[in-house]
Amino acid sequence: MDEEIELEPGRLVDGRVAIRFFGLRHALEFRTRPLIYHTVDPSTLRQRVLGTVVPCTPEENARWTEAAVACVVEIDHAARDLHEANLRAAQPLPRRRARAEQVRRDWDDAQHRYRSRFEAALDGYSPVRLEIEDAMRRQLELDRRRFDAERKEKELAEQRSEAIAEQRLSDLAGELRWGIEVSDSPRRTLHVVCMGVPPRAVPDDAAPLVEDVDVHALREALMEHRATGLVRFDSSIDEHIRARFADLTGPARHTGLWRLWWALFAEDYEPRTPSRSNTATFGSSSTYSGYHC
């Protein structure tokens, strides 16, 4: 065995091993990329590709590795011989024509020998390659079925979560009680609060404007006073609503104030994307002047 080629069988994990391509330094001379596989420990994979972690016995693992090493060593030796022939052919051609032609024939023969040894090595490895690829095809089919089943189960779980979220939104719309407090510094602001939820950003000098109303009365009050100042929903409201949906899955898990208000008053929104700072404004001349949270 070539002392520079070290390849140990990959560690089996639960009777399985991962398959990887063996990278050859040579074989580019004829634009050929042979498929030679080696096994690795599945637990070392950063990303698992479907069909590449296959069942394998210790005997198969050793045999696959031994065949790969034998093939790679032969190709490596052949490539080194070709490289040495190339160095000789690269020397200045002799002045004598017959000798120059002999150098060219030697180079042609060297390339032919390399190709023959290269193809013979791959032919000898072919039964093991086909065996590994057959195992990978079977595993790929199993992985695809498992992946499809998991995807469908995830979709069903998200659909169930969406149905639960819709019901909870409906319940919240009738359950939550609202208020508006007004502050004038540094500019007049209408602070929307949720009764029973401690506010986070309402100034101490804010004065009550509306207290203990349902969401529809809140919106009517905002429509009435929209021209008098900036409307700001306290961030505690969104946190309170999100906590009610934290046990769900998929997009429903992230249900917050935006979705509640959208479900009730979609016409209040302009088509804008919330900013990274979680502060956004929506509204138009037909509604109140703005919304911040």
pLDDT in tens, 128-158: 999 999 999 999 999 999 999 999 999 999 9
Question: Which residue, chain included where needed, has tokens 């070290």?
Answer: 6
Q: Encoding tokens for residue 20?
A: 């990887």
Q: Is residue 34 part of a domain?
A: yes
Q: Is residue 273 part of a domain?
A: no
Q: Is residue 168 part of a domain?
A: no
pLDDT digits (tens, 9 = 90+) for 26-52: 554 444 556 889 899 998 887 778 788
The size of the chain, in residues, is 293
Q: Is residue 231 part of a domain?
A: yes
Grade residue 278 by pLDDT with cuts at 50, 70 and 90: very low
132-137, long-range: CB < 8 A, 24+ apart: 132/19, 132/37, 132/54, 132/64, 133/35, 135/19, 135/54, 135/55, 135/56, 136/19, 136/51, 136/52, 136/54, 137/51
Cα 245 to the chain's mean position, in Å?
25
Whether 142 and 199 map to the same domain: the answer is no
Residue 91 CB coordination number (10 Å): 8
pLDDT digits (tens, 9 = 90+) for 186-245: 889 999 999 999 999 899 889 999 999 999 999 999 999 988 889 999 999 999 999 999
The span from the CA of 142 to the CA of 135, in Å, is: 11
Closest CA to 212 of 200, 203, 221: 221
Grade residue 181 by pLDDT with cuts at 50, 70 and 90: very high
Grade residue 280 by pLDDT with cuts at 50, 70 and 90: very low
Residue 185 has a pLDDT of 77
Question: By residue range, what is the domain housing residue 242?
Answer: 176-268
Residue 94, pLDDT > 80, answer: no
Question: What is the per-residue DSSP string for 142-193?
Answer: HHHHHHHHHHHHHHHHHHHHHHHHHHHHHHHHHH--EEEEEE-SSS-EEEEE
The span from the CA of 138 to the CA of 118, in Å, is: 29
Whether 25 and 101 map to the same domain: the answer is yes
Mean pLDDT along residues 263-279: 60
Residue 95 has a pLDDT of 62
Mean pLDDT (the chain) is 84
Whether 145 and 242 map to the same domain: the answer is no
Question: Are the beta carbons of 226 and 213 closer than 8 angstroms?
Answer: no
Q: Is residue 286 part of a domain?
A: no
**Domain total in the chain:** 2
Q: Is residue 137 part of a domain?
A: yes
Residue 289 has a pLDDT of 37
